[in-house]
A and B are shown apart, each in its own frame.
Chain A
């Protein structure tokens, strides 16, 4: 009661959801931003980093731990602490053999070819793990805002993500209880954050080197419309690979000094990986840095100085791979480097000096680095979120599909239906027919990629058309419509054109999670992960208590004289107890403290209401109270 009545005083304690969050779900870290006071702003809790490490740790008992606390478990519990989840999104076992070779995880595959990581005998899909990260990001956003953050979100993905990876991202957000307004490509989002629409006309290149992926996008900006001309990239190239180059160097030397056995240990591997990452980061600001590996319990104390030149030589092949993608993107956009007006650097790894120098030399101009490369994607996602909830109509994004879409033909070749770099939404219709009399079904195989053979492309699924009316061979004409929506996600619909039987033709995808599976996961995440649910509830309660406490504290001094001593004491005690409870993690105790606090605030609410009523009678507006 008191809670609601305080609301009368223009204090929106239970805000209606009007805004939408922009979320950058990254390989190494994730974060949220929101449009506020006329600009996008990163949501950070005071005294904490805005970056939530995209790491999930499963303790033997109790709720999973996500973020910084999980990251700290990496060395002590390497097999129970999952990093780089994004690299597994929408992938099968054989796609990620390279990743699995360097990570100490137990992995299996579902019947539909999706990877699952196993911890303490329980299996988790990357979607479920990413959902945990997204929930943590949402919770952090709520704490930063001091109220429950909007559950409508724009989530970013690497531009070069294929259909299954995009679907997996969408499913992860659904599992986290979020409503996805749009999947936006990271480099495109970054260009929005830079406010480049302010310029009249121009060509822009966004070079995005993240933790696990690399994208380059060429855009043209004209009259506030951001039109992507081309995109190229590599979903297996990022800062992790730069770390790996140092790890390889260190492993060879440690094996020589301490024997190869020590390197077999998962904890040692994680410690070495983190030490190399630290060294890489230091080398961005210092000419020399050290890799320290000190593991007293394993009697390892190893250090090695690395000069920037040595590091640059090690990573040169990686940098060259990014430049090859730049050439490809320019070639597809039919623009030479000198026609590019602006270059924008995005992603933590774009801080590496040799990367900056190489990009500058290639395009012949100094790249933009004004915005924090770790935050720029989330900021752009917040701009797009603001557009989508109707707040901004002067900017429009026209993005492209990064990979060609095709159907496998009889000989195993690919017949392309939609070319790469086609502006989305886009659609195309392809005709299929039967090869036997009275055949009622047709199977076809959809692939994404640029290679000639279907087996070299990414399989999006074998689709089955069912319910074709019986006819002589070759008579049935089934028109299959492929539509890639603004999220870059494919939908397939079919229609038998001769008989007009459209409704009865059933298209069954055979890849990825079905809607039923997502629903099932949603249900089980609540049934079996009660701890998880409790943690969420505790976080929501803490937010609510914080909001109530601020409202009471703001009005308490003014109302002090009007309250009787007992009510005042009661309220002050309840306030202190609720604030203390909010610092803990026990949802039940929090609920109790919150309810008591609410009860104790009733006299204050009544008093304020009274004042409001009196002042209103005296002809004064509510705002003046």
Chain B
């Protein structure tokens, strides 16, 4: 990536700290989550490799190891916060796809609320089922089936998103609009699944 450590001059693998001498680097403008963790932007990521990178980078920048000096501690806090945010985005496939669409100049959620047409018909049915579940306030076999259906659909939408983003389309490619609408569908499914999970937890409580 060209940048060099401000302390020892070694080539930097991460923007936050030097893997050669351990020195914290000055806080530059925040980059995309892949760059913050030393990866190339791509939709397909190895979960274990990502986790290991977070752990090894945290060992370099965590404020626990930079507590002696107030300004170093503040710098370590800022770097750690960036690492954690970058990891949170990359560890979640939907958020990762969302970030990649943004990076490739595609539409963001607020500019396009479109969903796939066939999906909208299903949404009407699901909304009805969800309304029923809300009213029942109890867990049942039917609700479990609904959950499984939504979860399977979520998996299918994400698989389609993966197909559209691997290999990554060119900057501003029209395919990004399709990815956007599928991610909007995933967003709907996540909200519905979250609501059902809350219902399951409160039903077990009672």
Q: Real complex partners, A and B?
A: yes
Chain A interface (Cβ < 8 Å from any Cβ of B): 181-182, 222-223, 225, 227, 320-321, 324, 327-328, 331, 387-388, 390, 393, 396-398, 422-428, 483, 485-486
* Contact across chains for A425 and B84 when beta carbons are under 8 A apart: yes
Interface residues of B in 32-76 (CB under 8 A from A): 51-52, 55, 58-59, 62-65, 67-68
Known: A396-B64, A397-B64. A327 touches B55 (CB 8 A): no
* Contact across chains for A327 and B201 when beta carbons are under 8 A apart: yes
Complex Cα spacing A54 to B77, Å = 33
Chain B interface (Cβ < 8 Å from any Cβ of A): 51-52, 55, 58-59, 62-65, 67-68, 77-78, 80-81, 84-85, 87-88, 197, 201, 204-205
A423 interface neighbour in B64, B87, B205, Cβ under 8 Å? B87
* Contact across chains for B64 and A485 when beta carbons are under 8 A apart: no
Interface SS majority for chain B: helix
Q: Which residues of A contact B52 (CB under 8 A)?
A: 222-223
Can you list 8 A-B pairs with a CB-CB distance of less than 8 A?
Answer: A181-B67, A182-B64, A222-B55, A227-B55, A423-B88, A428-B85, A485-B77, A486-B64
Closest residue of A by beta carbon distance from B62: A396
Q: Which residues of B contact A424 (CB under 8 A)?
A: 84
Closest residue of A by beta carbon distance from B56: A223
A398 interface neighbour in B58, B68, B81, Cβ under 8 Å? B58
Known: A425-B81, A483-B78. 20 other contacts (CB 8 A): A181-B67, A223-B55, A225-B58, A225-B59, A320-B205, A324-B204, A327-B201, A327-B204, A327-B205, A388-B64, A388-B67, A390-B68, A396-B58, A398-B58, A422-B88, A423-B87, A426-B81, A483-B81, A485-B77, A486-B62
Q: Which residues of B contact A223 (CB under 8 A)?
A: 52, 55
* Contact across chains for B77 and A425 when beta carbons are under 8 A apart: yes
Complex Cα spacing A426 to B77, Å = 8
Complex Cα spacing A204 to B51, Å = 17
Known: A331-B201, A398-B58, A422-B88. A393 touches B77 (CB 8 A): no
Complex Cα spacing A396 to B201, Å = 32
Q: Which residues of B contact A423 (CB under 8 A)?
A: 84, 87-88
Complex Cα spacing A225 to B52, Å = 10
Closest residue of B by beta carbon distance from A222: B55
B80 interface neighbour in A222, A320, A425, A428, Cβ under 8 Å? A425
Q: Which residues of A contact B78 (CB under 8 A)?
A: 425, 427, 483
Q: Which residues of A contact B58 (CB under 8 A)?
A: 225, 396, 398
Known: A222-B51, A331-B197, A483-B81. A425 touches B204 (CB 8 A): no
Q: How far is the CB of A449 from chain B (nearest CB, A)?
A: 14
* Contact across chains for B88 and A328 when beta carbons are under 8 A apart: no
Complex Cα spacing A568 to B65, Å = 52
* Contact across chains for B65 and A486 when beta carbons are under 8 A apart: no
